[in-house]
Amino acid sequence: MDGVNTVELAIFVAFFVLVTVVGFAAARWRRAENLMHLDEWGLGGRSFGSWITWFLIGGDIYTAYTFVAVPALVFGAGAAGFFAVPYTVIVYPLIFLVVIRLWSVSHVRGFVTPADFVRSRFDSSTLALLVAITGIVATMPYIALQLVGIEAVLETMGVTGQWPIIVAFVILALYTYSSGLRAPALIAFVKDILIYLTIIVAVIVIPAELGGWGAIFGAADEKFTAAGSGGVLLPQAGQLQYATLALGSALALFLYPHSITGVLAAKNRDVLKRNMSALPVYSLALGFIALLGYMAIAAGTTPVGTDGNTIVPRLFQDMFPSWFAGVAFAAVGIGALVPAAIMSIAAANLFTRNIYKEYLKKDATPENEAKVAKIASLVVKLGAVAAIVFIDPQFSIDLQLIGGVIILQTLPSVAIGLYTRWLHRGALIAGWVVGMAAGMLMLYNVPRLGPGGVVLREHWGGSAFSLGKLGFDTKYTIYAGFLSLLVNLVVTIAGTFVLRAMKVADGVDGTAETDYTAEREDPTVRDLPDPLESVPPGAAGGASVRG
């Protein structure tokens, strides 16, 4: 094959075959009596311990896109690209307050999705439908973005065309269909070992080859000073955008359905407590990953063609022997498969529980649900492949920014709803509508700028909304998702006051206060799922009580 590095490709393919075997074998790992139940296929039997949950949630959050795009952003924009580091530091204390309560109420009531919880908590099928659609829409571009990482690696190795990606995702679809959440849970072990190995070698070998960290930061400072951006320090005009983007991203991260899926698969609250305390170690690794962008500047690395996402694979190719570059490429590729599998399962769970069962077949049995979820997971993957084949990958990256703005609109009903039911269901719907409209309007009015501030595209150019468009005399920008969430909250709170003053009916809470603090040993917590049961989520007595 002309132009293809056969050593790199052979190592990459070997690891891909390995994880394929692991993926299919996962169906027999911790084998359930019947996988045809969403608790088993979609949540791994709700029985994962500390180590499995560590790798599953870590593999879910730190994706191939992170490994490729974060350093690419640092390479092109400098300090602004480091926003991913503080947001993954502050996210865990924030979500600690939420996921523990969500785990408890979900295990008592049998909830599989965040929309299940909203349906029961606020007694509103409409609000649950909005949460479900929001989760599916926000997840789709995220799955497509995993393909960006695989494309960058294949392009660097000299492999062109779309057929390798299509083959990879067909195989992914097959073993996910067969094994459910058990497949990415097992593969996550391989993925994280490869990524940690690659990072450790990179931060030792590359700085030594380039003359040390002083030389690396000096080269980066020289590049960005020459570009007029003030060197490696964040310019003052970008600080508000940086802070709100970090905070907004932290608030959004565990609202994504795939993140919640990993949480609900844990076997008890203590597993989550340990993981929320230990997962910030990944943030240390992320800091080193971001610094690969500065290393690429010092090494004089150039991307393949005009694809900036290839900057890290090219750096590895330039600095490592072919065999180890193949290992690093396998880490990126497998790092795409794990989150893509979890995301497709989470989206399938949402469709099955909150659209199919709620509106199309109310009497669906657990076996019906599992069959529909399997098919839906295939459709989701096909949609992701279509997005990457027929849409410019750069545009799909822009869609991820839209995804963050979209998923933030579920924060009042999901995250705040775990602590209080004071917010009125009608006001939550109004807040979602207004917040979503405001977010989309802001994103539409963000231009894509090129070197020297030249406008390359008038609309959908990113998430940094200029406060000047609101009439302020300033050059400061703010994260559109953060601002749209504020709009959502204002409308929701004001609407709640109005609707409660008018004494508009607010339904019946399908949960009890004790549900939110229940431990695994609590007799109300579900034991193993019973495939013969078909109790609608949130219904009275919806828990399977087997003490």
DSSP-assigned beta bridge partners for residue 55: none
The pLDDT assigned to 32 comes to 64
Note whether 97 and 393 are within 8 A (CB).
Answer: no
The pLDDT assigned to 505 comes to 93
CA–CA distance, 242 with 86 (Å, rounded to integer): 10
Q: How far is CA 449 from CA 292, 441, 456, in A?
A: 24, 18, 5
- H helices of 158-238, in order, are 163-179, 182-210, 213-226
Task: Scan for tokens 């039911």, then name that residue.
Answer: 421
The pLDDT assigned to 62 comes to 77
Secondary structure E strands in 376-524: 448-449, 455-457, 464-466, 477-479
Structure tokens given for 77: 């924009």
Note whether 55 and 334 are within 8 A (CB).
Answer: no
Distance of CA 114 to the CA centre of its chain: 15
Distance of CA 477 to the CA centre of its chain: 24
Mean pLDDT per 10-residue segment, the chain (547 residues): 82 92 82 74 87 85 78 87 86 86 94 96 96 91 80 87 77 85 89 90 94 94 82 84 91 90 91 88 87 94 84 94 94 87 92 94 90 90 70 56 88 96 97 96 83 72 86 89 97 97 94 91 65 40 34
Question: Domains in the chain and their CATH numbers?
Answer: 6-394 (1.20.1730.10)
Q: Which residues touch 449 (CB under 8 Å, ≥6 apart)? A: 455, 456, 461
The pLDDT assigned to 439 comes to 94
- Residue 167 burial (10 A CB sphere; 0-12, 13-18, 19+): exposed
DSSP 334-384: HHHHHHHHHHHHHHHHHHIIIIIIIII-TT--HHHHHHHHHHHHHHHHHHH
Task: Scan for tokens 């096909």, then name that residue.
Answer: 382
Note whether 391 and 385 are within 8 A (CB).
Answer: no
CA–CA distance, 507 with 377 (Å, rounded to integer): 33
CA–CA distance, 338 with 23 (Å, rounded to integer): 10
CA–CA distance, 118 with 134 (Å, rounded to integer): 13
The pLDDT assigned to 451 comes to 61
Distance of CA 490 to the CA centre of its chain: 27
pTM score, whole prediction:
0.90
Q: How far is CA 421 from CA 118, 254, 308, 418, 488, in A?
A: 10, 20, 46, 8, 17
Q: Tell me which residue of 385, 427, 379, 345 sits closest to 124, measured CA to CA.
A: 427
The pLDDT assigned to 529 comes to 47
Which residues in 96-122 are b (16+ Cβ under 10 Å) and which e? Answer: eebbbbbbbbbbbbbbbbbbbbbbbbb
